């Protein structure tokens, strides 16, 4: 009789383990801070997404971008954000912004690291210039990251909006340069480097599985694909990686640029995954990134207790 009661209880409770939305602390591993010089053409640009027939409203100024992004941080309990060019925002909310340095001389990156202001290098995006990770021009970045023990965020697909080669001036970008296998020799030659592939290596699911199997240090974020792809395609890609045993190396990211609403869309997409348990969602939204970034127990406890007061 007791066995039957246990089975009945599991029958009724098991679906809720998967159906629950995660509401704990979130680390966003892929955010952008901009000023007019860095992204003037993006401000005021609404993003039409033909894959989902949706349009995302663009902010018009750097101040509006910052304000709109921080509002989403508060709305979704985003406690940390690894932010490319985060030095533009650090003075406003330094307890949440982790600076990821890019497009600056190596000496400047090194100086920032020595001052304790640099948390990562990236995003590195030679993809836009028609260059792959194993090109000799990229070696200095990986050497420095390994020397400083800093994570690297490496961008491949998707690059820009659909058709960006033709309508966004991304004429050097090529799909043939997007496969995550381009990082294999880099990983072998820099075995101590912490690196994550931005956008999950989509659409190369099988190659991504192979890379993560062969290289245990390799992590991914699932930014952009969690809001730009049709939900069925995104969830299929995510499920393939989780089912293959890589759920502890998948990290949340939004790739929020000038469309703050995409943060909410990205979070909702992951919460809608009925194949994920609540614990697996917690790993993706927070635990995996906390481990990857090397947060200490005190920092983690502070974040996880933030909703209890």
Which range has the worst mean pLDDT, 19-23, 210-214, 237-241? Answer: 19-23
Q: Give the percent of the chain with pLDDT over 90.
A: 74
**Tokens standing for residue 225:** 């694909």
CA distance 134 to 46: 35
The label of the residue with tokens 């997409």 reads 269
Q: How far apart are CA 27 and CA 31, in angstroms?
A: 10
Half-sphere exposure of 265 (CA within 13 A, CB side): 23
Q: What is the per-residue DSSP string for 16-64?
A: HHHHPPP-S-EEEEEEE---HHHHTTTTT--EEETTTTEEEPPPSSHHH
Residue 63 located in a structural domain:
yes
**Is a pLDDT exceeding 50 seen at residue 174?**
yes
Tell me the pLDDT of the chain averaged across its residues: 90
Mean pLDDT of 300-308: 82
Q: Is residue 48 part of a domain?
A: yes
- Parallel, antiparallel, or unpaired: how do β-strands 54-56 and 47-49 relate? antiparallel
Residue 168, domain extent: 2-304
Is 309 part of any domain? no
* Residue 17 clears pLDDT 60, i.e. is over it: no
Q: Residue holding tokens 């974020």?
A: 221
Asked, for residue 53, whether it belongs to a domain, the answer is yes
Look at the alpha carbons of 260, 198, 224, 123 in this order and tell me if their dihedral is positive or negative.
positive
Is 127 a domain residue?
A: yes
Give φ, ψ of 29 to 5 degrees. -85, 10
Query: 173 and 156 in contact (C-beta within 8 Å)?
Result: no
Count structural domains, the chain: 1
* 243 touches 212 (CB < 8 A): no
Evaluate whether residue 203 is within a structural domain: yes
For 50-91, how does the pLDDT look when each residue is reduced to its tens digit (9 = 90+)?
999 999 999 999 999 999 999 999 999 999 999 999 889 876
Residues 220-263: tens digit of each pLDDT: 999 999 999 999 999 999 999 999 999 999 999 999 999 999 99
Percent of the chain whose pLDDT exceeds 70: 91
pLDDT in tens, 110-167: 999 999 899 999 899 989 889 999 999 999 999 999 999 999 999 999 887 888 888 7
Is residue 253 situated within a structural domain? yes
CB-count burial class (<10 Å; 0-12, 13-18, 19+) for 61: middle
Could you tell me the CATH number of the domain that includes residue 149? 3.20.20.140
Residue 291 has pLDDT above 80, yes or no: yes
């Amino acid at each position: 009789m007791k066995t039957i009661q246990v089975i009945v209880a599991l029958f009724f409770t098991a679906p809720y383990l998967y159906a629950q939305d995660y509401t704990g602390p979130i680390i966003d591993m892929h955010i952008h801070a901009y000023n007019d010089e860095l992204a003037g053409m993006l401000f005021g640009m609404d993003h039409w997404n033909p894959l989902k027939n949706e349009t995302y409203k663009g902010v018009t100024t750097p101040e509006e971008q910052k304000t709109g992004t921080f509002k989403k941080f508060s709305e979704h309990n985003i406690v940390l954000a690894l932010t490319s060019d985060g030095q533009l925002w650090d003075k406003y909310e330094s307890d949440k912004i982790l600076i990821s340095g890019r497009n600056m001389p190596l000496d400047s990156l090194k100086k920032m690291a020595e001052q304790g202001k640099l948390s990562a290098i990236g995003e590195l995006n030679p993809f836009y210039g028609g260059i792959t990770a194993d090109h000799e021009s990229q070696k200095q970045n990986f050497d420095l990251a390994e020397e400083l023990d800093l994570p690297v965020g490496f961008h491949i697909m998707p690059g820009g909006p659909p058709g960006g080669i033709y309508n966004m001036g991304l004429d050097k970008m090529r799909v043939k340069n997007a496969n995550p296998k381009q990082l294999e020799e880099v990983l072998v030659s820099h075995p101590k480097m912490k690196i994550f592939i931005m956008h999950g290596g989509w659409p190369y699911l099988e190659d991504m599985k192979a890379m993560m199997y062969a290289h245990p240090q390799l992590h991914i974020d699932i930014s952009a694909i969690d809001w730009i792809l049709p939900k069925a395609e995104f969830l299929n890609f995510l499920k393939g990686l989780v089912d293959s045993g890589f759920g502890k190396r998948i990290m949340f990211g939004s790739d929020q640029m000038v469309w703050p609403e995409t943060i909410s869309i990205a979070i909702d997409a992951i919460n809608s995954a009925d194949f994920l348990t609540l614990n697996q969602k917690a790993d993706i939204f927070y635990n995996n990134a906390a481990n990857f970034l090397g947060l200490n127990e005190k920092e983690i406890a502070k974040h996880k207790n933030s909703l209890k007061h």
